[in-house]
């Protein structure tokens, strides 16, 4: 069996960056599975709208939409959602500048909105996203798709579509790296940090 070749775009991790739990192929397979699950649950692509939660949820939503298009031949609406001002933990987390919320011209009323994010942890980001969606309109349903569910919920929130369930300690950090932002795809877990 030939030795695995290093990806030139991906730097070698340092010991404190932890271990890789998903490589680029794993990420791709997980997103393909999520796209198929969304289509099965919705019985097709009609009235679907994917909203990526900034930052890494946005490219993930676009990738899922491309996979849905390749299966159904139907383009689904994709938008982005900034939840910064809806968060209940702004005092304990450094504030970042607001990102752009971008909703397709058709709006969200009557649509099946699938919120897309990279990591589901405490559930507070999703709660903020639900509040943001309620200010934008009245969807027929709201569902949640995440690349990684690491557990440790603080709110009664559950993902409908999960790429990888990754049990972790609260003290561990789960980092999602995406080609559009970081230059390569990978999910790492390390022993330092806290909420990802």
Residue pLDDT tens, the chain, 196 long: 444 445 555 666 555 679 999 999 999 999 999 999 999 999 999 999 999 999 999 999 999 999 999 999 999 999 999 999 898 876 666 666 678 999 999 999 999 999 999 999 999 999 999 999 999 999 999 999 999 999 999 999 999 999 999 999 999 999 999 999 999 999 999 986 544 5
100 C-beta neighbours (distance < 10 Å), count:
10
Determine, yes or no, domain membership for 109: yes
**Which residue segment(s) compose the domain that 83 sits in?**
25-88+105-166
Burial of 171 (0-12, 13-18, 19+ CB in 10 A): exposed
Determine, yes or no, domain membership for 146: yes
Determine, yes or no, domain membership for 147: yes
Rounded to 5°, the CA angle 156-159-164 comes to: 125
Determine, yes or no, domain membership for 128: yes
CA distance 110 to 129: 18
Residue 103, both tokens: 């909703």
- Looking only at the bridges linking them, the beta strands covering 161-165 and 77-81 are unpaired
Determine, yes or no, domain membership for 32: yes
Determine, yes or no, domain membership for 83: yes
Classified as helix, coil or strand, 116 is strand
Residue 122, both tokens: 């405490």
Alpha helices in 57-185 (DSSP H): 57-72, 124-136, 179-182
Indicate which CATH number applies to the domain containing 52. Answer: 3.40.50.2020
Q: Which helix (H) or strand (E) holds 32?
A: helix 24-42
Q: Where are the beta strands (DSSP E) in 97-196?
A: 112-120, 141-149, 161-165, 173-177, 186-190
Q: Of 116, 127, 57, 146, nearest to 88 (Cα)? A: 127
Q: How many domains does the chain have?
A: 1
Determine, yes or no, domain membership for 179: no
Alpha helices in 57-118 (DSSP H): 57-72
Determine, yes or no, domain membership for 100: no
CA distance 99 to 7: 31
What integer pLDDT is reported at residue 4 of this predicted model? Answer: 43
Peptide bond into 107 cis (omega under 30): no
Residue 188, both tokens: 């790492």
């Amino acid at each position: 069996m030939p030795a695995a070749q290093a990806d030139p775009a991906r730097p070698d991790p340092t010991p404190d960056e932890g271990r890789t739990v998903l490589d680029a192929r794993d990420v791709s397979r997980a997103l393909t599975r999520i796209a198929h699950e969304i289509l099965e649950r919705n019985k097709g692509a009609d009235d679907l709208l994917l909203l990526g939660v900034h930052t890494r949820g946005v490219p993930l939503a676009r990738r899922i939409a491309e996979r849905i298009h390749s299966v159904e031949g139907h383009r689904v609406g994709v938008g982005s959602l900034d939840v910064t001002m809806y968060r209940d933990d702004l005092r304990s987390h450094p504030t970042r500048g607001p990102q752009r919320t971008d909703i397709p011209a058709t709006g969200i009323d009557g649509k099946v909105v699938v919120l897309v994010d990279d990591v589901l942890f405490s559930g507070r980001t999703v709660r903020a996203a639900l509040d943001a969606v309620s200010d934008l309109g009245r969807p027929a349903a709201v569902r949640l798709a995440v690349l990684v569910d690491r557990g440790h919920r603080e709110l009664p929130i559950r993902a409908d579509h999960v790429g990888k369930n990754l049990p972790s300690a609260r003290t561990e950090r789960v980092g999602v790296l995406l080609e559009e932002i970081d230059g390569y795809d990978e999910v790492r877990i390390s022993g330092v940090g806290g909420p990802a």
